[in-house]
Amino acid sequence: MRVTQSMIARNIIQSMNQSRENLNTLQVAMSTGKEIQRPSNDPVDFTRNSRFRTAISNNEQYLRTINDSEGWLTTTTDTLDQFYQQLEAAKELATQGADESNSAESRAAMAIKVNGIIDEMVSLVNTTYMDKFLFGGTATQDDLPFDRIGDTISYNGNSGNITRRITENHSVAININGQQLLDSTAFTAAADLKTALETNDAAAVRDSITALRSAADNTLILLTSVGSISNQIEFARQRLETANLNLTSILSQNEDVDMAEAITLYNAEEISYQAALQSASNVMELNLMQFLK
Amino acid sequence: MAITSIFEISKQSLLKHQAAINTTAKNIANVNTEGYTRLCPDFTSVTGLGLNQLQQGLTLEGAVQLRQSFAESQILYERQDLGKHETAELLYSQIEEIFAEPSDTGLSNVMSEFWDSWSDLANNPESQTARSEVKNKGIILARSFNQTYTQLENLRDNLRKEIDIRVREANQLITQIGTLNSQIESKPGFDLIDQRNQLLEQLAEKLPIDVLVQESGSVIVSTGGLVLASNTETHLLGTTTTADGNTMTSHLTYAESGRVLKLESGELSSLTEIHDTVIPEYQAKMDQMAQALTAQSNRVHASGYNQSGITGINFFVPGIDSAVNMAVNPDILNNPQYIAASASASDKGDGSVAQQLSDLRYEDIVNGNTVSEAYFTLVGDIGNAKQSSSFLRLNQEKVVQNLQNQRDAVSAVSLDEEMARLIQFEQGYNAAARLINTVDEMFDQVLAMMG
């Protein structure tokens, strides 16, 4: 084949451009650490990676929800625990008050203590977490959920559930509402004890021991149910964290540059580029005129 | 045989070699002229140079032009595809940049943040801060849709201008080819033919053409059976636009009859295809997503109650016909407290409606797909189109380059060859001169004999 100056020049320019383009692609990949800059680099991987990224971002949102719910549940547990302690204290007083040796005066003194316990219990069930009532159902911000008028405790909240979406298909109710607390008969048992002590009625005081015991048991059941919700949430958290760890590592495998490979390719490309430049300069200098006088 | 006839032969030889050196000089002078076809001195009356069949020669000005016609006509043909793929690659990469995926500012991320803001509100249905966050993410989402759509529309507007510019360029080329045709017929010349070939290559990049070389040296250029330029006439191209609803379609026409041309290759084919069908298709998909997002968000939102018990409010402006009109309801813009989160007026601590809205991300609301899945498919399609046009362009470049090399192997100037020829012709010239000297001495001898 007859090879002319124009063919040599065209081929040299083409191969230099090709090398420069390859070097540029590798350089961009190495400097960003990403294999895929734009969908056209690999449309199939792009679509798959996008799904992974969406899944990761969704899971992160669930983890945020879980963090928030855990605070709520911890406060609920602590509060119910204290509530239970108050019932225990009332039961203690009832046991003392049931003793026949007590005088009317000493029972009256005990009644004042029980009165304090009832106040403390009401204040506990009006606890807030981040400005929201823990035990008001979904009436989280209006009037106090519990009012005490005399020995009657009234509940202003509702029996609504506060639900949290902790994974794609799983929602849990994270609250114990005031109705459940009323139903535990804790308040009526304490009020009955107070009345019995005030009226110096030893038999009634004895009866209230049983009532307080069953109220304390009911409160424990509520505490257990909160614990089981906490477990569910903790389980979901572990699952989400594991899922995200896996997704992130798959994403990284798909998308991140293998540096060792990229550097090797870059060096190889650089060598071929230098060879192209060197041979080009040799070939272009070479012509008959150098040999003619 | 008279001695004087040797004088005559020698004189002719001198002139021939002088002309040959002249031809060599011209070749060397044009070594870097794009489209120049080398000349070969015409020694046919003295001896044949043995040109092979491919190298069809045209004898003029005492020289032969060496052409590789087969490669030349193939180059014309392949350039049409090159023009098509080059333009398509460029445009698809512009479209890809409009979507800017994957990135933090891309629509997919904006959508995620929008859903997340609703989930945050579901966790804190009483919070005004969460509400204003929902409002802000809604604004960003709507704006992202507006912007993407508008940028696509701007690209289309520019394409319309670009088509007009290319058509004007093509018309200029057609006119020039017509002029060269008549010049070549009246006064043939190598330079004119080279120049015309250059113009034909340029024209072929823009639209598919057929070229027929006439006996007289002029060419008939046609596209789709319609003559653009011949030895006597030229016919120009034009554009018309037809409006179909909101969509403007741009057509390339044969200016005289207004007949619409359907192009299969060339830059203009990519420009019109992307303008007429590709971008409107992408815009229609954006419209579908925006409409689905609007309708579904509104449906869920209107069923919910805000903290003051207000219900039935739309989150987005309802009933939009295009992504460019997507917007957050002005009532909500002014009063973010209108944002509903609860399923009933009394359940202020209930965030189930906000949760439902956040869960729309999993619902198949766009043609049986989730919004993000529909979006990824769209962006993946664009990536595919860009990738395949890049690939075709690269291939086509190699095809054209190969053909150019084949053509140049015959018709381009090689300096080494010219230098060798120069020495060859110089020696021929010297020999002819020596011959005259010898004949002169012979005459002297004859005259001396008469002495």
Q: How far is A40 from chain B (nearest CA, A)?
A: 4
**Chain A touched by B424 (CB under 8 Å):** no
Instruction: Select from B39, B110, B352 the residue whose CB has the most chain A CBs within 10 Å, as the one to mutate to test that interface.
Output: B352
Query: Which chain A residue lies closest to B97 (C-alpha atoms)?
Result: A38
CA distance B3 to chain A (A): 37
pLDDT for B248 equals: 67
- The residue whose two tokens read 């005088």 is A103
CA distances (Å), origin B215, targets B58, B147, B193, B220:
12, 58, 14, 11
Tell if the CB–CB gap between B32 and A6 is shorter than 8 Å: yes
A vs B, Cβ pairs < 8 A, gives 170
Return the amino acid letter for B123: N
H or E element in which residue A166 lies: strand A163-167
Query: How far apart, in whole angstroms, are the C-alpha atoms of residue B70 and residue B54?
Result: 8
pLDDT of residue B244: 67
Residue A221's pLDDT is 95
Instruction: Note whether B376 contacts A43, CB cutoff 8 Å.
Output: no
- What pLDDT is stored for residue A141 in this prediction? 83
Q: How far is B115 from chain A (nearest CA, A)?
A: 9
Write down the pLDDT at residue B44.
59
Tell me the per-residue pLDDT of A22-72, one tens digit each, with 9 for 90 and over.
999 999 999 999 888 889 989 999 999 999 999 999 999 999 999 999 999
What confidence score (pLDDT) does residue B51 get?
36
Mutate to test the interface with A, among B350, B392, B424 (most CBs of A within 10 A): B350
Can you tell me the mean pLDDT for A88-104?
Answer: 92
Cβ–Cβ contact B390 with A under 8 A: yes
**DSSP bridge pairs for B234:** B229
Q: Say which DSSP state B325 is in.
A: G
Q: What is the interface pTM, i.e. ipTM, of the complex? A: 0.86
Tens of pLDDT, residues B383-433? 999 999 999 999 999 999 999 999 999 999 999 999 999 999 999 999 999
Q: Do B96 and A139 touch (CB under 8 A)?
A: no
**Cα(A18)–Cα(B140) distance, integer angstroms:** 41
Contact of B151 with chain A, judged by CB distance below 8 Å, is answered with no
The pLDDT of residue B56 is: 37
Q: With 0-12 CB in 10 A as exposed, 13-18 as middle and 19+ as buried, what is B355?
A: buried
Query: pLDDT digits over B180-197, tens only?
Result: 999 999 888 888 999 999
Which residues from B are below 8 Å from A11, CB to CB? Answer: 401, 405
Lowest mean pLDDT among A114-123, A260-269, B5-14, B153-162: B5-14
- CB pair distance less than 8 Å for A38 and B386: yes
Measured in whole angstroms, the distance separating CA B305 from the mean position of its chain's CA atoms is 55
- Cα Rg for chain B, rounded, in angstroms? 37
What is the least distance, in Å, from the CA of A217 to any CA of chain B? 29
Cα–Cα distances in angstroms (integers) from residue B333 to residues B132, B315, B326, in the given order: 9, 9, 14
Confidence (pLDDT) at B53? 30
Least CB-CB distance to B380: which of A2, A5, A43? Answer: A43
Residue with tokens 């989402």: B141
Enumerate residue ranges in chain B where pLDDT < 70: 1, 44-62, 244-248, 451
Is B154 exposed, middle or buried, given 0-12, 13-18 or 19+ CB atoms closer than 10 A? Answer: exposed
pLDDT tens figures, A173-191: 999 999 999 999 999 999 9
Assigned token pair, A89: 């204290």
Contact B420 A288 (CB under 8 A): yes
Task: Pull the structure tokens for residue A171.
Answer: 């929602």
Report the residue of A6, A44, A129, A284 to disrupt the B interface, i.e. the one with the largest count of B CBs within 10 Å: A6
pLDDT above 70 coverage of chain A, percent: 100
User: Using CB atoms, which residue from B32, B355, B401 is nearest to A165?
Assistant: B355
The residue in chain B having the minimum alpha-carbon distance to the alpha carbon of residue A69 is B123
Q: Which residue of A has its CA nearest to B389?
A: A40
Q: Which residue of A has its CA nearest to B388?
A: A40
**Which residue in B has a C-alpha nearest to residue A13's C-alpha?**
B401
Q: What gap in Å lies between CA B3 and CA B340, rounded to an integer?
A: 119
Judged by average pLDDT, the poorest of A114-123, A133-142, B87-96, B169-178 is A133-142
Give the gap in angstroms from C-alpha A88 to the nearest C-alpha of chain B. 32
Nearest-angstrom CA–CA distance, B168 and B161: 11
CB–CB of A22/A286 below 8 Å?
no
Q: Cβ contacts (< 8 Å) between B383 and chain A: which residues?
A: 38-43, 46
Chain A CA closest to residue B115 = A58
Determine the average pLDDT of the residues in A154-163.
91
| Nearest-CB residue to A39 (from B362, B379, B416) | B379
- Give the chain B residue nearest A255 (alpha carbons): B102
- Whole-angstrom distance, CA of residue B260 vs CA of residue B254: 6
